[in-house]
Structure 1
């Protein structure tokens, strides 16, 4: 709050302080002199690059205040050319102010950037790109990667239109980083490679290093360890040649992270110690804090708790100099747990209290919950269960709903503490909550693993296709080279034309035959890759269904667990009543147990039916036409597609409306194939509505759009069955309507889609003797399936 008040005062009061006097003198000499503004912007950038956020914000505030004064001055408006320069400086001031302000108030930084857009009619594409780029960075820090990607792409378009090669090159890296965060490793690598090539063409060593390091982390995430280390070593050589000590330390830090994820702890420790030694000489507070923290974590993993405490103590000596206070909170929390492991309760309590005070100050709810849980553990170690439960209940109020592992630990400790306090009812209630959260956490981890494996498979497929394309291009290039050689040989052999002509003709025949063989092999490899893509598309469909089933099956399993636990308690009660001779009470308890067993049986059968449906879909069934209840199939797989979307990377709320005509009877279908049709069309609808929800218009008016999916069945006059799947997304543009059924046609970028979904769907419907039509207009798309029965 103090920082925000300071910033606000600086914006409005700075001009009337000492600096205003300096600016006033400058205006009297030349009202439209922009040198002081440009100097302030440069200083703000310099301090930001040196991680001195306070000083950066001070100069950025100064630049923004002066540029806005100058923009509205009479002298500026009289000279259109000078006005354009001032408007450019104003946009630059907005951009650096938002960059520096993000450290203190990320929402305020977002508002600042949107305020800058009012000047878009009067500035060129390069300045627009700068604002879009900062919006992308802001949404990345807010964890909203889809919005970040949207604005980062806008920045790329603006920089490309302006011809600003340097900004375009750096924006390629930023876009690749967002795609990497989204798990689109193949597409992100493409952006990094393009940025790397641009850096080499422009001879920009900094851009080359940034691209290499970004590529290294992509390879690390897909467990290509040697490629990751090779990229980092190549970057290291460049910085060693330039004698860039800060950059060399940073790369040693990155290599330490890579070796740690690989499981080579000793090599990781070596590189982190090298980074630390260099950062101590450079006197960079934030980087030195990070190196001490990395080493402390490694020592803790190795069981050296005393060593870990020592390095965290050293890290925390830089706490007052670091703007990112959530990292200081995390360091104090780790210290608290380290002291708990040594049974040093007083020092543990001291660290948890520091973490609680600081997390409360900065609004870090996760840190507040973990600090309270740590204080509860200290209290429990002293058998002070009353104090422990007070801390745990306060932790419950701030524990993030999305962090299931924290909530799992929290409810387990609450149940144990109530048990020690003798309040068995609350202990039992919280144990049930713990069980439910534990199941949810396990399901979430399983889904995360499925998503990770899918990303790895997509990366491998994309790299395989690239290799095939590169080989094909090399074969064609070689053919062109050989052709050129043939032509030169013809002219060189003029004196013995007849003999050489025969030789050349024969040689060309052999070479063309070889080239034909190579091209045939390339075509075969390409066809193989296409088959792999089709298989990947089907596996992705299965993965989405699996996610939906995991999401849906959780409820019946929770009911089974809960009723089983309650029945166990009732058996104990029955035994006690039987021992006391209360036969009537025993009878009542047995009746309750019978009811519970009935519930268990009911929900068990529900879970069993869901699993059987999944197995049928996965195995592919008999492949024969069998009588199938169309309405039941549509209801089940629309529901599974919805749950799959909800369990995916970017869930959203969708109103599902089913209008199923009871007159629709059973039809001969291959159910396991036709279920894919329903899932694919529903997923297309979800993607379209998500695109509309994430569009620039929806960002401004998110409450005005409510995603809705309507699935209908009816009998036509000709007794055909009509199935309609309607969404209220953005609609399909007229220019691509004729292409959407073609194999590999897609509007999605990179690894987001192969363009096979609608093609496979259309093939399945045609195989059933039906047809697939699409009707679309802005705000409405209807896919219509007609089955002739």
Structure 2
């Protein structure tokens, strides 16, 4: 025997499913509440149309069909009044759905056939799917399973193409039910399982109840009545709020049918009566006639002829409301008229295509005549054009040679300008290096002198035999030697940084500590500006991510980028301090972090900022806001090229005039 997805599942999984159903019901209510609040706030008619339709669809569809139909009619009247076509089409489709629920099958088809072309015209795929679904449901009630299945499949295809997966799941379920009703159980199981897998994959838990019921029906039809009852009970528990009278009626009726086959007559009658009460609340004549037929048969088997007769009368009345001769003729006429309309449309389309083909043939002949005339005219002009082209080619060759020479001169000039920019920044760097390198050199000299004195003292203690003091002095010498080595490496780093900055990039990448690199160049840039202007002072703020991983970059290139950004930041705050005086506190802030696999470096100042009018130009070559002689306009341009072309990074600018600017570097972390 085949296993089904919910068979034998424990209570824990069922509780999870019920919680998901409750969340969906709450989400539906929240949407109605949000539309209610929106309308109270804006008083827009279109919002009121959507609110009425949402109430009809989500609140009243399964609990109060009269209120639902009233909401749909109100939304239709308002949509027509304000000429809101989308609202009108959705209202008409909703009314057709309610007519189907109430058992007015001719009204359902008449309304649906009228609204379907309008929905197709405005490309409202939700309504198109709804229309085909209504047609399918109507034919299914009439037991024309072939037509029902055809319309369900049309709805399913459209829903899938429009990515309306909730509606696609419903159509999978309807197709499966058509196969069930026609006793094609393998096909029914295939579509139910397909829908079930899609629902789980898309976390669409609120449609699982329909599919659970399908598994139960298939089990019932295969004679596994106890398993079928288990599925129906799970389906009942999945109904949000336990207030969907239509679904409760169907589940109770199917449980009753299963108990009938298990010869448990009392249980059968109990659940059949529950189904009857729910069918009356749903005002669904189809469900009423199905359950009353079951009750009539059961009481007849118990020889309770009075109750059998009473329920049979109710069944006949409900059946007449669905399948009266007049309604059957109306349905047949509507179906015939719809088929005629489709044939007429197809004939009109064929005639239109034939006219198009005729026009195309005439057009092609006209084009050939025109082309022949053009060719004759062109042949006369060709000889004159050849002579002119020969002269122009000679001129182009001469101009090409001149342009080639000019391009070579421009490349040479560009190389010189780039080198000039590098030397200019190197000059600014030199003053900062002189200040920065003095500190480690002072440490090296001081600790060297201290070590010399300690060695002399150690020799004296050795002579005295005080070896404990000798060990203490040796430890001090070792400690001092480590400090000498540390500050020597710092000086070596600064010198190497200067050399790397001055030479052309080798393009060789190496793992680099961005925090150390940024800290060194920030200090060098600051002291470089201080060397040119002793009055300048600014606060340097750093927030470095201690857990920042090393980045594989060309160190001298990234150092050059950082130096350009620091120089610009200090220049901006220096310019602002000259105009605002002591009340202004210049500051440059550098931050490093890791975000989404990227190393982020932010350089922010509270300087003069960049006006919006030139923000797009500052990265262009040779554009500068500095006075003549103070900038080449290549710093930011070269920095942009290094980051974008050389390191697959980005450079973004956030600025507000007179309030400061922030440059944001993003580099791949690996």
- TM above 0.5, yes or no, is no
Query: Smaller-chain TM-score range?
Result: 0.3 to 0.5
The structure with the larger Rg is: 2
Alignment TM-score, normalising by the size of structure 2: 0.37
Alignment TM-score, normalising by the size of structure 1: 0.32
Q: Which structure is higher in RCO with an 8 Å CA cutoff and minimum separation 6? A: 2
